[in-house]
Structure 1
Amino acid sequence: MKHLVTTFGIISTLLLAQGCSSTVKSGEAVKSGETSDSVAIKQHEGHLMDKGETPVVASDPHAGHSMHNNMDHGNNSAQAKALFSDRKNIQPNQPVVLGINIQDSKGKAITKFDTFQEKIMHLIVVSDDLQFFDHLHPTYKQNGRFEVTANFPRSGQYTFFADYKPSGQNEQVSVLKKGVPGATPSAPAIDLNTAKTFGDTKVNITFSKPKLKAGEEVHAIFNLKNTSNNQPVTNLQPYLGERGHLVIVKQSSNLTKADYIHAHAMKHDSGGEVHFMTKFPQPGKYKLWGQFNRNGKVVTADFWVNVQ
């Protein structure tokens, strides 16, 4: 335990290093006839229907830090919003191209973006029961429009956390909603097991504190081993510029930006261990997805935790 605390202190000094960024410029207009709407979900007679609504807008100046939980910080960051550019007839297990428009607070297209974590936009998609997770990277089509191909495995409600960085500004997080028609299946019981196997990788998650408490910083440690011989993995490579990425979402009946946390791996190299610093803002149950690159193959390890 003493060794862990010492390591924790040394690594904490490295958390404010920022990565380089590049700018993408506008050159094309959005196609005529497109409409912009943010989609909320309305359940009616056992089916989920889309309904146009005002988008949920969020901003978060966390660039260069190892963890953020998407809390507003006054006027340090300009407000931006993301809107689905058109309605799509979404069906389970059928790929669909979604358009996303990024606008400023006055409804004008934001046309220039900085690259961060090797991408222009990171789009986290989760089912609202947190059984489904996807980490996508939409393609920028100019004039504030992004496109992405998504696939939804089953009927239900889905939340999108769009993370992007308008040029010269801090990162922004916008929340969008989509529904896939049909009867929503019941979610399985929550599994609080801290050791799981994902293909050829065994993953165990531990924390620097015996109990997780809301508002307290905690050190999350993912230990990765080969399934075949139970030895630490030796072929971890950078994933999106980091040793690993950690997405955390709080269980909630209506997911918002306050339920979303994105942590980057700390500058730590110890065999198959990957370390993160994070904080759970409120008591409750949270789903964690750690993502790691094993020689070109991304391993996504998911765990539930209970926070007091």
Structure 2
Amino acid sequence: MSSSSRFTTRRRSLAAVGTAAALALTLAACGSSSDSSSSMPGMDHGAKSSASSSPSASQAMGDKPGMDHMATGNGLSDTQDGYRLTSKDATLPSGRQAAYRFTVTGPDGKAVTAFAVDQTRRMHFYAVRSDLTGFQHLHPTMAADGTWSAGLASLAPGSWRMFASFTPAAGAGKDKDFVLSRTVTVPGNATKTPLPAPVGSTHVDGYTVTVKGEPMAGMAHPLTVSIAKDGKPVTDLQPYLDTYAHLTAFHEGDAAFAHLHPTTKVTGDHGGPDLTFHAELPTCGNWRLFLQFQTGGTLHTAALTLHVG
């Protein structure tokens, strides 16, 4: 079995966790969603964003920044099954690089230091603006005591959610996938920008990225991503994290997390132009997709809005 196939099998368990709970609310919620007004696509290569934060679900409930105790399965909680994401960083500076330091503790209250390698990394870390116009995907480093450090590029003022995606290599949660998160505030004058309207394609670094598929909330559905350049199909995609493209999605309004699992087999440095993904988005509304792919040793990040009915 290829590394991409093994990853697909393991990761599907994570998507399934939130699906059952979400289905109970899907019919009521889907009728109340509204499309965002159109603007220039907001996308961040791990640098800056000019959009402000809209209130997150945790803020609406009165939580303080960095203290999130919400339903598990969508990444909007800092705790699940006895595992907890902890950090002393409730604020981060704006306009310059900064390190976000955090620890994962286990059911015994001790820092976890044994993590399984997943897509070539032991920890995947995401910083996402609450309005989904800022995005960074990093692979932090861990000290001997279990403290992780994520070197963030410049953050614009507003509210950001920090996601840690990992799989313990030992203990009660061994081989189980977790996505935990906490919020931080970046002080300053935040400028509000609406989420770009749903579209079928977007452009980045001279490439055209097209997404085909009409997923329904709470149901498994395939998505196809096609990549072209100068009107010609791209066939020189290089493996990135054991796949030809890494795709994550965040839900408008609460920034709920979903990972879309790649199903295309990796066969060297000639991937493309069509890539398939197993999509299981638990709730309706607009989702912001961030697709990362590599050509010629350069990583590209494309973003577009997908509406889920």
Unaligned runs of 5+ in 1: 1-10, 19-39, 44-48, 61-68
Q: Could you tell me how far apart the structure 1 residues matched to 2:145 and 2:259 are?
A: 27
TM-score (norm. length: structure 2): 0.71
Distance 1:42 1:215, change over 3 A: closer
1:16 partner SS: helix
Partner of 1:79: 82
**Share of identical aligned residues, percent?**
23
User: Is structure 2 residue 195 aligned with structure 1 residue 217?
Assistant: no
Distance 1:284 1:165, change over 3 A: same
User: Is structure 2 residue 258 aligned with structure 1 residue 261?
Assistant: yes
Partner of 1:188: 194
Partner of 2:208: 202
Q: In terms of Rg, which structure is larger? A: 1
Structure 1 residue identity aligned to 2:9: L
Q: Residue 90 of structure 2 contacts residue 183 of structure 2 at CA under 8 Å; is this kept in 1?
A: no
Partner of 1:178: 184
**What's the offset of the Cα at 1:105?**
2.8
**What's the offset of the Cα at 1:179?**
0.7
**What's the offset of the Cα at 1:190?**
2.3
Alignment of 1:116-265 (within 5 A): 116-168=118-170, 169=174, 170-207=176-213, 211-227=214-230, 230-252=231-253, 254-255=254-255, 259-265=256-262
Q: Could you tell me how far apart the structure 1 residues matched to 2:106 and 2:89 are?
A: 21
CA root-mean-square deviation:
3.2
2:232 partner SS: coil
Partner of 2:277: 276
- Structure 1 residue ranges, 4+ long, deviating more than 2 angstroms after superposition: 11-18, 40-43, 49-58, 69-72, 86-91, 188-191, 267-271
Q: Could you tell me how far apart the structure 2 residues matched to 1:17 and 1:41 are?
A: 29
Q: Could you tell me how far apart the structure 2 residues matched to 1:190 and 1:240 are?
A: 28
Q: Could you tell me how far apart the structure 2 residues matched to 1:307 and 1:89 are?
A: 33
Q: Could you tell me how far apart the structure 1 residues matched to 2:147 and 2:236 are?
A: 37
Tell me the alpha carbon deviations over residues 136-190 of structure 1, each in whole angstroms, 9 at most, x when there is no partner: 1110112221111113431100011100111131121111111101232112352
Distance 1:90 1:301, change over 3 A: same
Q: Residue 111 of structure 1 contacts residue 144 of structure 1 at CA under 8 Å; is this kept in 2?
A: yes
Tell me the alpha carbon deviations over residues 73-103 of structure 1, each in whole angstroms, 9 at most, x when there is no partner: xxxx95311111x337622221111211110
Partner of 2:39: none
**What's the offset of the Cα at 1:55?**
6.0
Indicate the structure with greater helix content. 2
Higher relative contact order (Cα pairs below 8 Å, separated by 6+ residues): 2
**What's the offset of the Cα at 1:198?**
0.5
**What's the offset of the Cα at 1:284?**
1.0
Distance 1:145 1:92, change over 3 A: same
Indicate the structure with greater strand content. 1
Unaligned runs of 5+ in 2: 12-56
Q: Does 231-240 or 263-272 show the bigger shift?
A: 263-272
1:115 partner SS: coil
